[in-house]
Amino acid sequence: MTIFARDMTPTVDLIRQRGAGPVRTQRPVYVDLLPPCNVACPAGENIQAWLALAQAGKFKAAWEALIRDNPMPAVHGRVCYHPCETGCNRKDLDSAVSIHAVERFLGDQATEQGWAIPTGHPPTGKRVLVVGAGPSGLSAAYHLTRLGHAVEIHEAGPLPGGMLHFGIPAYRLPREDLMKEIRRIEAFGVKIVLNRMVTDLLAEQQAGGFDAVFVAIGAGVGRHVDIPARDAVKVLDAVTLLRDVDSGTAPLLGRRVVVYGGGNTAMDAARTVRRLGAEEAMIVYRRDRSHMPALDFEADEALAEGVKIKWLTSIASIDGADIKVEVMRIDEHGKAQATGQFEALKADAVVLALGQVSDSEFLTKIPEVAVKPDGTVEVGPNMMTGRPGVFAGGDLVPGARSVTIATGHGKKAALHIDAWLRGHELVRPEKHPVIEFAGLNLPIYADAERSVQSELPVDARVAGFEEVVGGLSETEALHEAKRCLSCGNCFECDNCFAACPEDAILKLGPTKGYKIMHDLCTGCMVCVEQCPCHAMEMVPELEGARL
């Protein structure tokens, strides 16, 4: 790796131009800025902090720092769409840090090494009911337990995990990896009661003596659309298909299957259909690729496995094996518009992947809880519904939906529930400014190639549900963690210490940073220019400083 260095000796003229010398007009200070990866994480992880520990080889400490915010890193390292990497400043240097891969490595290490969750706060004597054992419910229960409350999850299904278990195919999330992290949460003290459908929330709360409730039932019901059909082929929704496959009761779909929809669930359904033996799996979607809700890599993986995608097409009617589709066009607003032109397709089955809704009818029995027509529930900034002590989150509330967003909702709700139980409102400290790539100072960095996760050969994927993407080795995880630029926060590289011509910077020792002795500092600004991560800034002197 080539290292680029900069001349650290300021010229006399430059020092004078900067207002340095006998009378200093500005002084250097250390600052803490917010890295964009942290900002982008829906689970609120302090990514930079646990990456710093991982790059030092302190994997257990890194895992413990990570699970302060997210109790299931092995799961999220596999299924999160990692918006943190989209925000990562390193992408503008060479390529983003593979944050999700290091997160998965730490989660898998915790399982292999048998690491236990550190003890939380002492018991408060308060009891909280969580309805739903999906990602949001599990997250809320975990964080509430850390805060000292006794938590019980009531789950309607036979297994915990919600859509993690029944909505994400095993080739993306092996069930044993999911269950190991859930079992660790149970061992931490969270009680999970399965096959317990809540139909009367207030009665359930009263019977169990719960002081507060968090409802996180998710959106587990497939959305349907009215398609004229006569003697139709087998028609089912994607959620039911994925649930049946996971339960071992996969239906017989035939040789040709059409999947109707353009989201990530549609891609999962089509890839699953291929694994069930369909020779042809075709996604029919009414808009084009640039307007599809599915992420690009999801579509790429589906296409690589032989799935076909018919863009700008909408199903008009179904008559036996004949499917009449209408050709669509995209207008100037990005909306799909009918053209009046029709084509014919053949299929043995149709899978509807048109989104999901929440089965929240039981909440309509509580007058103070506002349930929208789509099944979602209105909540305030503190995640509480109109009923005091009843909170909701995850896919049950309006907004974007993902596993990590739901996990973040669980953490947020837990903090607000804790504050409510203690009789006060949660006050969050003001966030530091975000540091962007243009604000960094990277003369000492050069290319460091991103670690690549292994993948099953394409021809082997559709033979079963074996995990497609592999994890990193310890060496690869260490390398990847070291690619972090520590944006906006000091990592004690010693550049400022080495650059100062006046010996005005004092090292305080490992993890303690540095101290600027302003009685020696001339304000030449060299230390600030040599800080690669922008952990230093120049601030004006109020009255000047005579040396």
Residues of the chain predicted below pLDDT 50: 1-9, 11-12, 14-16, 19, 544-547
Q: Are strands 191-193 and 150-154 parallel, antiparallel or unpaired?
A: parallel
pLDDT at 13: 52
CA pseudo-torsion sign 447, 455, 79, 223? positive
pLDDT at 374: 87
φ, ψ at 502 (rounded to 5°): -110, 5
Listed in order, the ranges of the chain carrying CATH 3.50.50.60 are 127-221+357-421, 232-345
| Domain 232-345 fold | FAD/NAD(P)-binding domain (3.50.50)
The amino acid occupying position 200 is D
* Three-point CA angle 247, 251, 256, nearest 5°: 135
Furthest-apart CA atoms within the chain: distance in Å: 92
pTM exceeds 0.85, yes or no: yes
Contact assessment for residue 148 and residue 123, using Cβ atoms and an 8 Å cutoff:
yes
pLDDT at 357: 86
Domain range 12-32+489-546, CATH class: alpha beta
Q: Are strands 280-284 and 356-357 parallel, antiparallel or unpaired?
A: unpaired
Give how far Cα 533 sits from Cα of 26, 37, 38, 487, 492, Å. 20, 14, 15, 5, 10
pLDDT at 225: 79
Contact assessment for residue 44 and residue 97, using Cβ atoms and an 8 Å cutoff:
no
Residue 454 CA to residue 38 CA, distance in Å, equals: 26
CATH superfamily of 127-221+357-421: FAD/NAD(P)-binding domain (3.50.50.60)
pLDDT at 532: 93
Instruction: Give residue-wise pLDDT tens across range 22-46.
Output: 678 899 999 999 999 999 999 999 9
DSSP state of 236: E
221, 298, 308, 321: which is closest to 273 by C-alpha? 308
Please determine, looking at this structure, whether the domain spanning 36-117+450-482 carries the CATH number 1.10.510.10. no
